[in-house]
Amino acid sequence: MQNLNWYPGHMTKARRMMQEQLALVDLLIELADARVPAGSRNPDIAALCGSKPRILVLNKADLADPVRTERYASALRETGQLVLIMDARTRKDTGGVRRAMEEACRAKIERDRKRGILNRPLRAMAVGIPNVGKSTLINTLAGRGSAKVGNRPGVTKGKQWISLGGTMQLLDTPGILWPRFEDPDIGVRLALIGSISDDILDIGGLASRLIRYLTAKYPGIMERRYAGENVRFPVIEGEDQTAHLRAVAMVRNLWKKGQEPDLARAAALIIDDFRSGRLGRISLEDGSI
């Protein structure tokens, strides 16, 4: 599996746009994927936002291992950070986001009150890497399809201001990665959650990495999903990784012409099952900071 580095030209433009808009907002809402809570946080965001208040939303929590997610969130909360765990597709947690925005900006609201400025809308910027659910969160908060949404990186191309009623406004921004992954495993994890375009990925190699991880950290999960006669998923150093894919292809009746197992389709199936949650609630980090 090759090292992954993906920083197309539009991300440079998006980063510049974000810097220009910072002066217009009161706080940042940073979204991360709960399955990769540390690795899906762009380290550049902390430097960009400076002293601006920030809320961290661990999104897609319905797909992540709840024990690991809570462990990570609790560790950050102990340092005084505002952290929310949620599934942005549902409305049940939206009240928590609004309350967190008010809490993060409490000092500013009080300063405005003393100056006689009442009910001025709070302006927030939603930031994060591609495909962590920024537009989904905004649409859920707004109660309508205001921001473009897609289950792939690069859907949001430019800034979008969304009104959340008379008291709050949100700026949706394109997802941005950072220029280079110092830890190649981070690139693999981000590829698995769909934050890097599948067009540049070795899907077979990616699926094999996922299988090895699942077999080690979530024993039995592959067998439960892809049960078949004499199907095993052992983790043996140096093992032929195509054996895993071949087993899934045979169980799921995925064949190429000439009755050869279709390894490419098997790899795509496994990755799609992980991304959709059909494999279960899985995290790709242990939940520590």
More confident residue, 166 or 31: 31
pLDDT at 119: 77
**In this structure, what are the phi and psi dihedrals at residue 48, rounded to the nearest 5 degrees?**
-70, -40
Do 151 and 97 lie in a common domain? yes
Lowest pLDDT segment from 64-73, 75-84, 218-227, 234-243: 234-243
pLDDT at 149: 42
For residue 211, what is the domain's CATH number? 1.10.1580.10
Do 106 and 235 lie in a common domain? no
Q: What span, in angstroms and rounded, lies between the C-alpha atoms of 132 and 34?
A: 9
Do 54 and 139 lie in a common domain? yes
For residue 19, what is the domain's CATH number? 3.40.50.300
Q: How confident is the model at residue 10 (pLDDT cuts 50, 70, 90)?
A: low
Do 165 and 25 lie in a common domain? yes
- Mean pLDDT calculated for residue range 55-74: 96
pLDDT at 216: 87
Lowest pLDDT segment from 11-15, 78-82, 149-153, 283-287: 149-153
Q: What domain range includes position 157?
A: 9-172
By three-state DSSP, how is residue 123 classified?
Answer: strand
- Tokens encoding 223: 């067998």
Q: Please count the structural domains in the chain.
A: 2
pLDDT at 223: 86
Asked if pLDDT for residue 193 goes beyond 90, the answer is: yes
Q: Is residue 184 part of a domain?
A: no
Cα–Cα separations (whole angstroms), residue 134 to 161, 201, 258, 286: 13, 23, 45, 24
99-154: per-residue pLDDT in tens?
898 899 898 888 888 888 877 888 999 899 989 998 899 888 887 655 544 444 43
Q: Is residue 114 part of a domain?
A: yes
Do 246 and 158 lie in a common domain? no
88 closest CA partner among 110, 114, 109, 62: 62
Do 17 and 122 lie in a common domain? yes
More confident residue, 85 or 158: 85
Q: Is residue 190 part of a domain?
A: no
Q: How confident is the model at residue 68 (pLDDT cuts 50, 70, 90)?
A: very high
- Mean pLDDT calculated for residue range 252-281: 94
Do 167 and 208 lie in a common domain? no
Q: What span, in angstroms and rounded, lies between the C-alpha atoms of 246 and 252?
A: 10
Do 123 and 248 lie in a common domain? no
pLDDT at 233: 63
pLDDT at 143: 78
Lowest pLDDT segment from 96-110, 169-183, 202-216: 169-183
Do 98 and 157 lie in a common domain? yes
Do 22 and 141 lie in a common domain? yes
Of 172, 191, 218, the residue at which a domain comes to its end is 172
Q: Is residue 234 part of a domain?
A: yes
More confident residue, 31 or 238: 31
Q: Is residue 3 part of a domain?
A: no
14 closest CA partner among 181, 130, 161: 130
Q: What span, in angstroms and rounded, lies between the C-alpha atoms of 88 and 91?
A: 7
How far, rounded to the nearest angstrom, does the alpha carbon of residue 141 sit from its chain's CA centroid? 18
- Tokens encoding 188: 């693999």
Q: 64-78, 80-94, 103-117, 187-201: which has the highest mean pLDDT?
A: 64-78
Asked if pLDDT for residue 167 goes beyond 90, the answer is: no
Q: Is residue 168 part of a domain?
A: yes
Cα 131–Cα 136–Cα 138 angle in degrees, nearest 5: 125
Q: Is residue 2 part of a domain?
A: no
212-243: per-residue pLDDT in tens?
899 889 988 988 898 766 666 655 555 666 88
Do 34 and 134 lie in a common domain? yes
Q: Is residue 140 part of a domain?
A: yes
Contact status, residue 246 vs residue 263, Cβ threshold 8 Å: yes
Asked if pLDDT for residue 189 goes beyond 70, the answer is: yes
* Percent of the chain's residues with pLDDT above 90: 37
